[in-house]
Structure 1
Amino acid sequence: MVTTVTTVPGASSETEPEGESGGAGALQEALARLAEAPLDPLARQWVRAALDGDSSLDTLVRGGTPDTSGLDAGGDARTLSPDTVHPEGHSYLSQVRVQGFRGIGPPATLEFPPGPGLTVIVGRNGSGKSSFAEAAEAALTGRNLRWDAMPTAWRDGWRNLHFADHTEITVEVHQSGETRPTRVTRTWSGESVRSARGEVSFPSGAVGSLRDLGWEQALARYRPFLSYDELGRAVTGRAAELYDTITELLGVRDLAEAERRLAKTCHNLTKQRDRPGRERDRLVEQLRESADPRAEQAVTLLSSGPPDLDSLAALASDDGPADPNKQTVLRRLRRLSVPERALMTEVVSELRGAAMELAMAEGTKGDRARGVTQLLEQALEHHRRHPSDSDCPTCGAEGALGAEWAARARAEIEALEPVAANASSAYERAEKARDQARFLMAPMPTWLPADSELGQVWAEWEAGGGITDLRELADHIENVGRRLRSAALAARKSAARQLEEPTDGWAELAERLSAWVSDARAAVRVNEMLAPAERGLQWLTAVAREVRSERLRPLAAQAEHVWHLLRQERHIDLEELRLVGRGAQRRVAVDVNVDGVDGGGNAPGLLSQGEFQALALSICLPRTLVHGNPFGFLVLDDPVQAMDTETVEGLASVLAEVGQHRQLVVFTHDTRLPDALRRLGLPATLRTINRDAMSNVWLATE
């Protein structure tokens, strides 16, 4: 099939994105539109801050006024302007010389006319085609994208096994207006692929480094190398990769970054605004679990419409004890003293011993003698106090208690005391034991709450003072005293713990409440700035979409044209390329129409492998025609794989057409491409590459 080569109107030798012709970067274009936009001052300030950078946005978020005057200086230093990159014109390959690299052993050279044209180099697998392509890429960029996707062991096989001399690549590039080439040489001295040293010889004779070429940004943006692997990743790889490549190519990446950073700022402000509302219910639940009256007040304030933040802040700042009187009780409880266990044991033993001794004395002569002695001593005491009254107060006998009686009574007491000694000793011991017991049972402190566990036990303990029976008193001290000590020790420990946290848990709640109040106040401020920020984002998103669409339109037209040639008779139309989404959701949407049915932007899922590869080529190939691309050449490695014969004929037409304006070097193992070029009579230089068993590589021109 013979395909007529046509040209998209307005896309002859250059595809110039609209808005780039005046040399203005995308940010400057956005600023120019902003100056005319009916946007309020606050929203305008957010847009300018987003265009200026993260620090300006941070200043606005903190409530400051960013200095964005640098935006008005003109130009866009951060965007690679197509009119400032190599204004002298295009660069063309004139020679690639390789030795000791990959499949090439002794020196082998590829030479090209330094200008537009199509060169196709055909060779079987293993003939050294990809070695030449990757060598040119490694020399100019210092890396190879295909290597990056391979295992380390595979990358380590970069040095040729049949060539013991050093590995070296030399690429000669002719720039427009120069009679002598720029020579880029990369030499490997070590075993690592990273050990290469690069050198550049300029037409003037000066020698410098690769950095002196000034191609670092341009190589990333316009990348003049395209392998089969890259074609595969163009549509099926990470969605963001192709998006970033195209936005960089169109000079709108910084505008996309400005939109992304403002969207992220709005998202963070929204989260900050909504955080107090999301956390209020949880805070209320925590406050309700506290018995502190301040917690109850806070719950009331938080549950009654818009909360009074000042009142809540005052509650949160009160981190003292809820009840000062309770703190006094706790301090006294911590120092509370109760009888020691050893002392109580001693008193109980004495009580029981005295009770036993008293029981043995009761009813004996000694007990009777003690009784008579006590009675006589009391009568003598009465007589001493009332000497004029000699009548007996018990029997009423007149004059019975005279001096003579007193003498007889003293004599009887003296006679009875030895008899009553043991009984008297028993009674005295019992009384002393009783006194010791009463001393232990001190009254309950007036400050101790009577309804507390300790207060109830202490009241029972204190009531034991009325017990007269020695055995009952001993049992009371032993049983109730044990419970008193246990309750007292528990109360002291509890008091110590509560005194360590005098707020009884309120301090932690107060801290959470204080943090919530701070968030709520910040949310009020954020809510005031969020509205203009969102208006700014809405405007910036619309402008970024317009600028992207305007600059993408010529590139998309070229892609549609390339696809039209490649698809041949297939009823698959490439409807549109669109840059959609932002941040992690950014991607290039490819809309196709299959037999009149809209594919819904899901091109890869609707196409065969060959059609898919043709689609990828349609997207990637036009970038070589983008205005401002300093590279007049493009190296394609094996773009024919998986294509059927009709698609290969379309590819031949596309390559011949692009070859009218750019230098294309195509490596392929598929003879169908040179056959199609011959059959269609398309202009191209055809060469055959060969390689023997010792890695000797040579080329022949047809």
Structure 2
Amino acid sequence: MASIPATVSDEDAGQDDGGESAQEVMERLADSVLGATARQWVLAALHGDDAVAALARGETVDGIAEDVRTPPPRPQFGRGYLGRIEVQGFRGIGRPAVLDFPPGPGLTVIVGRNGSGKSSFAEAAQAALTGRNPRWDAMPAAWRDGWRNLHFDDSTEVSVDLHMDGDVGPTRVTRVWTGDSVRSARGEVVSPSGMTAPLRSLGLDPELARYRPFLSYDELGRTVTGRAVELYDTITALLGLTGLAEAERRLAKACDRLAKLRDRPGRDLSYLVSRFKGATDPRAERAAELLTAESIDLERLAVIAADDGPADPARQLVMRRLRRMSVPERSLMGDVVNELRGAAMELAMAAGTKGDRARGVVTLLRQALEHHQRHPQESDCPTCHAEGVLGADWAQRARAEIARLDPVAASAAAAYERAEEARDKARFLLAPMPSWLPVDSELGQVWAQWEAGAKISDLGELADHIETVGRRFRSAATTARRNAGERLDDPTDGWAALAEQLAAWIDDARSATRAHETLIPAEQALDWLTGLAGEIRNERLRPLAAQAEHVWQRLRQERHIDLERLRLVGRGMQRRMAVDVAVDGVDNEGNAPGLLSQGEFQALALSVCLPRTLIPGNPFGFLVLDDPVQAMDTETVEGLSAVLAEVGRHRQIIVFTHDTRLPDALIRLGLPAAIRTIHRDATSNVWVDAPGQYGG
């Protein structure tokens, strides 16, 4: 079986963040059949968000081709190897402990029981370079707060020596924790010349995230079973396809926005039509007709939307009068009702009494005297026609009778006077409906009932009428006055709001027309770029996938599961790396997790992760693996030992494990490896035996 090559060729795996892939797109674009506008979209997508947004707005973007051809340079690093890890006060390590490595390619296996300090060394090295450890992030707060060693009271420090190609000595990275938080560390770098600088001066953060030279058991598991987009992004970055993926994302996002602009008027049309059909303004009726026509005339609609005058001047006059209309106060209506009922009670009490009869006689005599005074020459009674009864003597006797009866009639007369005053007040309230008020309006209908109360003679019934109908009348009048004020604030009587909605819809419709015209070349560009991106991804992924398949073949031993291929598929939140497998010769495209055991998961993750160590441009000549053999059976461990030794010919591979099957397999197979044993006592003193060299 062919061995793993030292690297993936530079032609097959990108080292840039988009420059080479952009250049390749430019070359393919020059030979494509895309129109000029579609080509501009491709160039804008490669250039950046601002250029894409400008094209979407219909603006002309100049100079983007030249900008695309000159990608920003990436910092260059010599390949670095681990020479030493020094740890004190960190997790399981108390007093200072040192772990030395030959700074170059080769396989080193550190084996020890659980709790011997293996992971403490591995995580300390990762923390020194990155300031964090992915395993910490998944742990509860109680675990993170207990990261300091309990047997060591001095400062917590970690130092890592990196031997960079071309340097005369090591670059020492040191991180010292100053607080209780695991993230409270400060780091510094001492160059081979002795110069001290902040850790960030190395500029390795993007490369650490890209190439991941530290892999724990948990991280290996998440490689296949974790978030699909994370593995996609990692592999895309390794292959130098981040820029191309971003260009595809920009273009897809722009097409999506343009499609939404194109479709928005259609989505809003039915609601808008329902609003206009429910309005009484004749302009709304005309607008509804135009909006439901087979071909919508935007110019005619714009004329209607621009008409902001009142719909009915006569109605405006009614509104002004309504706003000035006086509405009876509730307290006044209550006073009149009380007065009517009080007067009615007094009348009822006076009825049939001597005073009531005396009042009647007095009233008749006064009327007769008044008639006699107006017609002194007449002596006959105008009612009974008795002759000669009305004369001076009669008048004198009548006045004497009135004088005698007045005191008797006084109380009854007062009751009648109160009743008349109460009626006058009621008649004042029951004013007739004004001629300008439409009788078919809500207020007009209630007012007709209200004024009908003026015909009621019975005081009690009149009081009931004012009390019951008066409530409805007052409510209707108050509402009409308020509505009139609101409508007068909008002289168009509600049309202004509808016109504003119509104008906004017209703007959307015009934008939709432009968006449709803009979207056609944008979608052509997206289809072309998506197809080309797939080709480039497959080309660059092919050697990495071939290495992964080779590693899998070594690891799978006698299993009947074949790793068919790796594919980068989808975009946006749907992007993922598809792992196609065949079980017993039957293809199962993209559904590997459902078929693999936990040990096979680990083997598959190693198949994906180990080849990226060999990617050109990877500044880390080392890979640290913490317990990679968990859940593997003995045959898989033997396959892994062969793979690690093979990769160790080209890179520095450091493995921490508690499983003695790995060193046993290396010894049994005679594979080259430095195998060392790590120990830890009850007070957190950790030491590592001198290396033993096995094989050749």
Q: For 1:64 and 1:150, locate their aligned partners in 2 and report how far apart those are by CA, in whole Å.
A: 51
- 1:32 corresponds, among 21, 27, 30, to 27
Give distance in 1, aligned partners of 2:367 and 2:204.
129
Query: Which letter maps to 1:625?
Result: L
Q: How does 1:555-566 map to 2 (within 5 A)?
A: 555-566=544-555
**121-130 or 451-460: bigger deviation:** 451-460
Q: CA deviation at 1:580?
A: 0.6
For 2:245, the equivalent position in structure 1 comes to 256
The residue that corresponds to 1:7 in the other structure is 3
Among residues 64, 76, 95, which one is paired with 2:84 in the alignment? 95
* Post-superposition CA distance 1:433-483 (Å, at most 9, x none): 99997985876533233443145337746778xxxxxxx487896677667
| Contact 1:574 1:592 (8 Å CA) reproduced | yes
Counterpart secondary structure, 2:70: coil
Asked if 1:699 corresponds to 2:689, the answer is: yes
> Letter of the aligned partner of 1:632 in structure 2?
G
8 A Cα contact 1:19 1:551, kept in partner: yes
> What is the identity, as a one-letter code, of the residue corresponding to 2:26?
L
Matched, 1:584 2:573: yes
Residue 74, structure 1, aligned to residue 69, structure 2: yes
SS in 2 for 1:158: coil
2:215 and 2:625 in contact (8 A); partners too: yes
Q: Which moved more, 1:250-259 or 1:303-312?
A: 303-312
Looking at structure 2, the residues matched to 593 and 436 of structure 1 have their Cα atoms a distance apart, in angstroms, of 104
- Structure 2 distance, partners of 1:364, 1:163, is 125
**Equivalence for 1:18:** 12
Larger CA deviation: 33-42 vs 567-576: 33-42
| Shift in CA distance, 292/352, structure 1 to aligned 2, threshold 3 Å | farther
CA deviations on 1:535-577 (whole Å, 9 max, x unpaired) are 2211221122122112111111111111111122323221111
Cα distance, 1:72 vs structure 2:
2.7
Partner of 2:385: none
2:483 corresponds in structure 1 to 498
Alignment pair present for 1:203 and 2:198: no
The alpha-carbon deviation at position 219 of structure 1 amounts to: 1.4
Deviation by residue 1:57-104 (Cα, 9 ceiling, x = unmatched): 333333433455385363322xx75xx522xx4212222222222222
TM-score, structure 1 as length reference? 0.82
Q: Specify which of 148, 152, 165 is matched with residue 159 of structure 1.
A: 148
8 Å CA contact 1:122, 1:689 repeated in 2: yes
Alignment RMSD, CA only? 4.0
Change (3 A) 1:21 1:460: closer
Q: Measure the CA separation in 1 of the matches of 2:612 and 2:85.
A: 23
Match of 1:652 among 623, 632, 641: 641
Q: CA deviation at 1:241?
A: 0.9
**CA 1:133 to 1:543, structure 2 compared with 1: closer, same or farther past 3 Å?**
same
Report whether the alignment pairs 1:668 with 2:657. yes
Q: For residues 315 and 543 of structure 2, what CA distance do their matches in structure 1 show? A: 83
Structure 1 residues 374 and 697: CA distance shift in structure 2, 3 A? same
Q: 1:99 to 1:323 in 2, by over 3 A?
A: same
Q: 1:227 to 1:358 in 2, by over 3 A?
A: same
Is the CA contact 1:367–1:423 (under 8 Å) kept in the aligned structure 2? Answer: no
Residue 183 of structure 2 aligns to a residue in which SS?
helix
Distance across 1 between alignment mates of 2:182 and 2:214? 19
Aligned in 2, Cα 1:630/1:687: closer, same or farther, shift over 3 Å? same
Moved more, 333-342 or 595-604: 333-342
Q: Tell me if 1:85 matches 2:76.
A: yes
Instruction: Give distance in 2, aligned partners of 1:134 and 1:594.
Output: 37
In 2: Cα distance, 1:461 partner to 1:164 partner: 100
Q: 1:15 to 1:558 in 2, by over 3 A?
A: farther
Alpha-carbon separation, structure 2, partners of 1:432 and 1:177 = 121
List per-residue Cα deviations over 1:187-231 (Å, max 9, x = no partner).
Answer: 233333223232222122222121222222221211211221111
Amino acid at match of 1:673: L
Percent identical among aligned pairs is 56
Amino acid corresponding to residue 687 of structure 2 in structure 1: V
Question: What are the equivalent positions in structure 2 for 1:239-638 lying under 5 Å apart?
Answer: 239-316=228-305, 322-333=311-322, 334-336=324-326, 341=333, 360=357, 367=364, 371=368, 374=371, 377-378=374-375, 418=399, 444-451=433-440, 452-454=444-446, 456-457=448-449, 460=452, 472=457, 488-502=473-487, 508-638=497-627
Secondary structure at the counterpart of residue 640 of structure 1? coil
Per the TM alignment, residue 318 of structure 1 is displaced from its structure 2 partner at its CA by: 5.2
1:235 Cα offset (Å) = 0.2
> What displacement does 1:245 show?
0.8
What secondary structure does 1:16 align onto?
Answer: coil
Give the 3-state SS of the residue equivalent to 1:248 in structure 2: helix
CA separation of 1:68 and 1:346: change in aligned 2, threshold 3 A: same
CA distance in structure 2 between the partners assigned to 1:113 and 1:599 by the alignment: 44
Provide Cα deviations, 1:473-531, integer angstroms capped at 9, x if missing partner: 87896677667755653442122121132166555545544443443333233222222
Q: Does 1:60 align with 2:55?
A: yes
Q: Give the 3 Å change call, closer, same or farther, for CA 667–484 of structure 1 in structure 2.
A: closer
Between 1:619-628 and 1:499-508, the stretch displaced more is: 499-508
| Deviation string, structure 1 residues 291-310 (Cα, Å, up to 9, x no partner) | 44444444333322343344
Contact residue 44 and residue 64 of structure 2 kept, 8 A: no
Distance 1:104 1:373 in 2: 131
Letter in 1 for 2:596: L
Q: Which amino acid aligns with 2:76?
A: V
Helix, strand or coil for the counterpart of 2:163? strand
Note the C-alpha offset of 1:656. Answer: 1.6
The structural deviation recorded for 1:596 is 0.7
Moved more, 451-460 or 686-695: 451-460
Q: Secondary structure at the match of 1:143?
A: coil
Structure-1 separation of matches of 2:466 and 2:654: 106
The structure-2 alpha-carbon separation of the partners of 1:319 and 1:463, relative to structure 1 and needing over 3 Å to count, comes to farther
- TM-score using structure 2 length: 0.83
Q: Contact 1:146/1:229 (CA < 8 Å) preserved in 2?
A: yes
Structure 2: distance between partners of 1:542 and 1:163: 59
SS in 2 for 1:186: strand
Q: CA contact under 8 A between 2:561 and 2:583: conserved in structure 1?
A: yes
Do 1:370 and 1:423's aligned partners in 2 also have CA atoms closer than 8 Å? Answer: no
CA offsets per residue over residues 32-59 of structure 1, 9 Å max, x none? 3333332222222222222222233333
Sort the Cα spacing of 1:331 and 1:621 in 2 relative to 1 into closer, same or farther, 3 A. same
Question: 2:99, 2:676 → 1: CA distance?
Answer: 10
**Partners of 1:362 and 1:423 within 8 A in 2:** no
The 8 Å contact of residues 358 and 423 in structure 1, kept in 2 or not, is answered as: no
Larger mean CA deviation between 283-292 and 32-41 belongs to 283-292
Rounded to whole Å, the distance in 2 between the matches of 1:415 and 1:335 is 55
User: Which has the higher mean CA deviation after the structures are superposed, 573-582 or 327-336?
Assistant: 327-336
Q: CA distance change for structure 1 residues 598 and 446 in 2, over 3 Å: closer, same or farther?
A: same
Q: Do the aligned residues in 2 keep the contact of 1:559 with 1:619 (CA within 8 Å)? A: yes
Judged with a 3 Å threshold, the aligned counterparts in structure 2 of structure 1 residues 645 and 411 are, in CA distance, closer, same or farther, namely closer
Unaligned runs of 5+ in 2: 383-387
Give the conservation status (yes or no) of the 8 Å contact 1:17–1:554: no
Q: Is the 8 A contact 2:119 2:656 kept in 1?
A: yes
How far residue 579 of structure 1 moved from its aligned partner, in angstroms, is 0.5
Which structure would you say has the larger Rg?
Answer: 1
Q: Tell me which amino acid in the other structure corresponds to 1:692.
A: D
2:116/2:679 contact within 8 Å kept:
yes
Counterpart contact for 1:687–1:701, Cα < 8 Å: yes
C-alpha contact (below 8 Å) 2:431/2:451 kept by paired residues: no
Distance in 1 of aligned mates of 2:203 and 2:439:
91
Counterpart of 2:97, as a letter, is A
Equivalence for 1:391: none
Determine if contact 1:366/1:420 at 8 Å carries over to the other structure.
no
**Corresponding residue of 2:37:** 42
Conserved 8 A contact 1:373-1:413: no
